[in-house]
Structure 1
Amino acid sequence: MTAFNRADAAAVVATYADDGVLMAPGRPAAVGKDELAIVYPKVFETVGFAMAYEIKEVVQISADWGFVRSATEGTETNKATGVVMPAAYQELFLLRKSATGTWQIARYCTSKISPAG
């Protein structure tokens, strides 16, 4: 999350498994590090993020698999217009332990929460 807030695409992609999948709102799934290495820089070129994260749940479901449920709130800045808007998301990370023992993102699904209105 720190890498995401500082728009460090390489560091974000490094947290994924080689076959990791990003499922983001309004976008087709990005599958594998090669696609993720294209998607994240494009996102960071167009939007600036200032987000706070809250871990809601962490569950290890087997020796090599677990999940994290989180909530994110803050602002997004449209870099083309400079417009800053409030933003809120809910996320689900499916994690897999690598051969070296590092937990990596196998699947990441995020959905934007509509502002109250």
Structure 2
Amino acid sequence: MGIRLITLVLASLLLPLAAQAAQPAAEASATAAVTQQLKRYETALNASDLDHVMTLYAGDAVFMPQNSPPAMGSDAIRAAYRQIFDLLRLDVRFTIDEIQPLSRDWAFARTRSNGTVKLLKGDQPASSEGNQEVFLLHRESDGQWRFARYIFSTTQPRK
């Protein structure tokens, strides 16, 4: 009886330590997965690849571009990106400022993007582009992290 009691007491003391030890590994895994999704997004934007962009979004996501109403759900998000890709060509690079896992299945990322934007109509040269962004990501049942909410605003001075 005494040995079982000691074993139970030790196990109850060590279990929280084991959980704490596993937490940094889980956070590192989430951070790596979110970083990979942001790199995929950068690639898809620069290629104007609508289908690839859509694989990065959750089905019930909300896309909140500056100076536009939110696009809610896959159909509205697809239409918003189609309009963007029909109007302009992006060449941007993301800088990740922060990734914070919020729970096992939720995380947010704060980023900045800089590069150029070229209007497809007319012959104006490409102009500088810069934004700050917040992504809320959800790990879905297939294990993939997808954008649940995405909002951005320009960091470019008014002209």
Matched, 1:113 2:141: no
User: In the aligned structure 2, how far is the partner of 1:35 from the partner of 1:10?
Assistant: 14
Q: Deviations over 1:66-106 (max 9, x none)?
A: 00111000110011123211110000000001011110100
CA drift of 1:116 comes to: 7.7
- Picking from 90, 101, 104, the partner of 2:143 is 101
Structure index of larger Rg: 2
User: In the aligned structure 2, how far is the partner of 1:3 from the partner of 1:21?
Assistant: 18
Structure 2 residue runs of 5 or longer lacking an equivalent are 1-41
What TM-score do you get using the length of structure 1 for normalisation?
0.95
Matched, 1:66 2:107: yes
User: In the aligned structure 1, how far is the partner of 2:64 from the partner of 2:77?
Assistant: 11
Give the structure with the larger strand fraction: 1
Matches within 5 A, 1:1-117: 1-83=42-124, 84-115=126-157
CA drift of 1:115 comes to: 2.6
User: In the aligned structure 2, how far is the partner of 1:70 from the partner of 1:52?
Assistant: 10
CA drift of 1:24 comes to: 0.4
- Structure 1 stretches of 4+ moved >4 Å: none
Instruction: Figure out how many residues of one structure are paired with residues of the other and give that number.
Output: 117
When structure 1 is superposed on structure 2, of 79-88 and 50-59 the one drifting more is: 79-88
What TM-score do you get using the length of structure 2 for normalisation?
0.71
SS in 1 for 2:67: coil
SS in 1 for 2:78: helix
Amino acid at match of 1:29: P
